[in-house]
Amino acid sequence: MTDAPPVLEFRAVNTHYGPVHVLKDVDISIGAGQIVCLLGGNASGKTTTLKTILGMVTPTTGDVVLDGTVISGRPTADIVGRGISMVPENRRLFKRMTVRENLEIGAYLREGSDLEADYERIFELFPRVKERLNQKAGTLSGGEQQMVAVGRAMMAHPKVLLMDEPSMGLAPVLVAQNFEIIQQINEAGTTVFVVEQNANMALSIADHGYVLQTGQIVLADTAQALLANPQMRQAYLGEVG
Ligand SMILES: Nc1ncnc2c1ncn2[C@@H]1O[C@H](COP(=O)(O)OP(=O)(O)OP(=O)(O)O)[C@@H](O)[C@H]1O
Ligand SMILES: [Mg+2]
C-alpha cells in the first residue's frame, strides 16, 4: 500500500491475551521515512499493536518484520536495540527522577556516548525542557511531560518512533504543537507510527492511515483518501451522518 519501501511490517498478525483474541490477521506496512497513523476507538487493540512491535506481546501467528528481518519473538531489549523507541500511553516518566535522568535512560541502549549533542537536539525541539532539566519529572505539567517522553524516546536515535496517543489529555494548543514536533522529527529522518483517537489531527500530518476496529483493520489508505472517505468521516471525524 505504501510507495516507500517498508521499514516495518505486520504480516497476518494474530495476538491473544489468554483466550481473548485481540489482533486478528493484521497487515500493516510502514514505509521508510513516512508518518503512518493507526486510528481506532477504545479497546480496539491499538496499544496491543505497539506492544507487539516491541516484543511485549508475542504474536500467536504471523510476523512483525523490521527491514526484512522477523523481529517478533525476540526480547524487547533486542528490538529496541535495532532502532525502535516508544512514547508510551500516558508518557510513563520516572516521576521521582529528574528530567535529565529521564532523558539519560533513553540513551541507555544505544551505541556511542555523546549525550551532550543529543541534549542539544532535544533542546532545539523543546527549549522548555532545557529550563527544567533538574526538576522532578512528576512535577512537570502534562504538556511538559509529553516533551520529556518524546525527548527520552529520541535519545535512543530511533529509526522508527512509536507513539501511543500523544494528544491524550492535552489542551488543543498543545496537541497542535505536539503534532508539529512529530512532523519535525519525521522531516529529520525518523519514521513515525502514531496511534491516535484524534483522527483529524493524525491524518492531517500522516502519509497513510489504518483504522482498527475490534482488532481488525477495516480501512487502510492514504491519509488524504481517508480524510475524504464518507465512512471515515461519519465514524471517526466527528461528522453526524
Ligand atoms: N494484559 C492484558 N490481559 C488481558 N487483556 C488485555 C490485556 N491488555 C489489553 N487487553 C485487552 O485487549 C483489548 C485491546 O486493548 P488495547 O489496550 O490494545 O486497546 P486500545 O485500542 O489501546 O484502547 P485505548 O484506546 O483504551 O487505549 C482490550 O479489550 C483489553 O481489555
Ligand atoms: Mg491504548
Distance CA 175, CA 207 (A): 19
pLDDT tens digits for 164-208? 999 888 888 889 989 999 999 999 999 999 999 889 999 999 999
Q: Where are the alpha helices (DSSP H) in the chain?
A: 46-53, 76-81, 99-106, 115-125, 127-131, 142-154, 172-187, 199-205, 223-228, 230-236
Does the beta carbon of 15 lie inside 6 Å of ligand 1? no
Last residue of some domain: 139, 157, 175? 157
> Which residues lie across from 191 on neighbouring strands?
160
Give the Å distance between the CA of 48 and the centre of ligand 2.
7
Q: Do 140 and 232 belong to one domain?
A: no
Q: Do 130 and 208 belong to one domain?
A: no
Give the Å distance between the CA of 15 and the centre of ligand 1.
11
CA atoms within 13 A on the CB side of 123: 11
* Residue of 16, 20, 195, 210 to test ligand 1 pocket, by largest number of atoms within 8 Å of CB: 20
Last residue of some domain: 157, 191, 206? 157
Q: Do 136 and 108 belong to one domain?
A: yes
State the residue range of the domain holding 176: 1-83+160-241
Count of domains for the chain: 2
Q: Which ligand 1 atom lies nearest to the CA of residue 18?
A: 4
CATH of the domain at 65: 3.40.50.300
Q: Do 241 and 179 belong to one domain?
A: yes
Q: Which ligand 1 atom lies nearest to the CA of residue 215?
A: 14
Q: What is the pLDDT of residue 3?
A: 67
Give the Å distance between the CA of 134 and the centre of ligand 2.
30
Q: Return the minimum-mean-pLDDT range out of 31-45, 53-67, 97-111.
A: 97-111
Last residue of some domain: 121, 140, 157? 157
Q: Residue 34 pLDDT more than 70?
A: yes
Q: Do 67 and 10 belong to one domain?
A: yes
Backbone phi and psi for residue 180, each to the nearest 5 degrees, phi listed first: -65, -40
For residue 11, the tally of other CB atoms under 10 A from its CB is 17
What rounded mean pLDDT belongs to the chain?
91
* Residue of 44, 54, 164, 236 to test ligand 1 pocket, by largest number of atoms within 8 Å of CB: 44
Q: Do 167 and 240 belong to one domain?
A: yes
Mean pLDDT highest for which of 11-20, 82-91, 101-110, 136-145?
11-20
Q: Do 152 and 165 belong to one domain?
A: no
Q: What is the pLDDT of residue 5?
A: 87
> What is the pTM for the complete model shown?
0.94
Q: Do 48 and 165 belong to one domain?
A: yes
Query: Going by CA atoms, what residue is nearest to atom 23 of ligand 1?
Result: 43
Q: Do 20 and 123 belong to one domain?
A: no
Q: Do 30 and 143 belong to one domain?
A: no
Query: Going by CA atoms, what residue is nearest to atom 13 of ligand 1?
Result: 43
Q: Do 23 and 61 belong to one domain?
A: yes
Give the Å distance between the CA of 47 and the centre of ligand 1.
7
From the CA of 39, the nearest ligand is: 1
Q: Do 77 and 57 belong to one domain?
A: yes
Does the beta carbon of 186 lie inside 6 Å of ligand 1? no
Query: Going by CA atoms, what residue is nearest to atom 27 of ligand 1?
Result: 42
